[in-house]
A and B are shown apart, each in its own frame.
Chain A
Amino acid sequence: MSRFLTRRAALTGLAVGAGGLLTGCDKLGNEGPVRKFIFKGDGWNRGLQRLITSRDALAPEFRPDQMSPIFRSNGTRNPNTQSYNAHAAADFSTWRLKIDGRVARPLSLSMAQLRSLPARSQITRHDCVEGWSAIGKWTGPRLGPLLRHAGLRDDARYIVFHCADRFGGTPYYESIDLVDAFHPQTILAWAMNDHVLSVPHGAPVRLRVERQLGYKHAKYVERIEAVASLDDIGRGQGGYWEDVADYDWYAGI
């Protein structure tokens, strides 16, 4: 009998304990040393992955028959600002893509110029941080040669992508380091699935950084800035979602 009570007490204890632990996890995740610890994983995972991955290791590429029948869009589906709508109405003939910051020769490219550059086409898998994946074909010039053309200064460490869309009034932006910026599959895509890039997917030009999750693939890119530090950009975490919602800066995982 006493053993039965012990069992029941133990079961109750386990149930209450589990509930208490979960509530405790909210507190631990919001402040203090445990939060500090779980925010270290971003850098640890980046370091470990960089350690075992060669710089030019390619993301898997797929055959045309492996592509998603429908490639959903996500995030901003239309920036819908006055200036963006004016560019869209002109078929983006008025759009300029600037490359500046810590570079020797700032560039300002029209879409015609961008489309005339040697382009790379790749059928790759797009992985959203939410968990879904879609496979599509992307075409555009590689970012690396463009940065070389602009002449990165020695102190440039990160490449920041400033976008035309706003989230609740805040400009979207993202950033990558030079390993990903010069990766062979990192391109400025102006075409998707053999069509000119549509507005929901980031017209007229978006970043493809194939070894990272979707939120790094900045859409509606109007300015590419080379910087020595991310501290003075936005709120300093390296991207819109990193700033407003604590997403990891390294999204290779």
Chain B
Amino acid sequence: MADSGDHPPRRSICRHTLATRIWHWVNAVTIFIMIGSGLMILNAHPHLYWGHYGANFDTPWIDLPHWPGWLTIPSSYNLALARRWHLTFALVLAFGLLFFMVASLINRHFQRDLRLRRAEVAPRHLWADIKAHLAFRFSDPDRPGAYNTLQKLSYVAVIFVLIPVMILSGLTMSPGMDAAWPWLIDLFGGRQSARSVHFIAAALIAGFVTVHLALVILAGVWNELRSMITGRWEVEDADRGEAA
């Protein structure tokens, strides 16, 4: 493990636990499939409504474009196959989240890495964090392994809000689940409202993925990729702090 004396010592830390890494990659595949097959399903009726009902003679709040084949799974119109993809991987998404939540409570990932301190969400600190992002500084040299505040906020939003909303609004579209758990209908104010919320939350997740990928590239693709595969993340020298 010892570095040879000729090279400056390079420190690497274990940034991601095995549970986090497994969930990350399973989720990467799952979200990709869910968005692609979801857009294909949406192509069957690309109009969204609020309330319990909504069909061709009712007034949608939004008429969506027809999603092109390079964005959908499968690439040519096939509602049945898109549903096979979507409804099977929905189970992977839901039980994957459950696995990750239990594992992250046990290995204390949530308590250690994602807990937001009061001082962190103070406007002054948030503003400083935004400025640091604009300067492409994403980690604190004093605590290199810690997530920055915007990072924590976005992960918390995805893990505890967006994906649970996706799952619950998805379940609300199931007539079988509406009989089993009628409170789902009350939660969203109707099946068509749930369908609208499902789309909005999916758009936010797609936005998260886009920003996430951009930041991975800006923060250094290979270091970030390696840390999500092996767990090891190389710490930058403090004096090169402004480097991306």
Contact = CB atoms under 8 A, between A and B. Distances in A.
Interface of A: 3, 6-7, 10-11, 14, 18-19, 21-23, 25-26, 29-30, 37-42, 44-45, 48-49, 52-54, 57-60, 62, 66, 68-72, 125, 127-135, 210-213, 241, 245-248, 252-253
Nearest to A37: B88
Contacts of A44: 88, 91
B101 to A, nearest CB: 19
A199 B135 CA distance: 67
A213 B45 CA distance: 15
A71 B52 CA distance: 13
B155 interface: no
Interface in B55-102: 55-58, 70-76, 78-81, 83-85, 87-91
A133 B81 contact: no
A194 to B, nearest CB: 18
Contacts of B174: 49, 252-253
A25 B36 contact: yes
A252 B80 CA distance: 14
B241 interface: no
Contacts of B76: 26
A48 to B, nearest CB: 8
Nearest to B81: A29
Contacts of B5: none
Contacts of B53: 66, 68, 125, 133-135
Interface string B1-42: 000000000000000000000000000000011001000011
Interface residues of B, number: 53
The residue in A7, A131, A253 that gathers the most chain B C-beta atoms within 10 A of its C-beta is: A131
B88 A66 contact: no
A29 B185 contact: no
B52 A133 contact: yes
Contacts of A62: 52
A133 B47 CA distance: 12
Contact of B70 (A19, A54, A60, A252): A19
Contacts of A48: 91
B55 A72 contact: yes
A45 B86 CA distance: 12
Contacts of B36: 22, 25
Contacts of B173: 127, 253
Contact of A130 (B33, B79, B176, B185): B79
B33 A60 contact: no
B185 A60 contact: yes
Nearest to A49: B176
B229 to A, nearest CB: 15
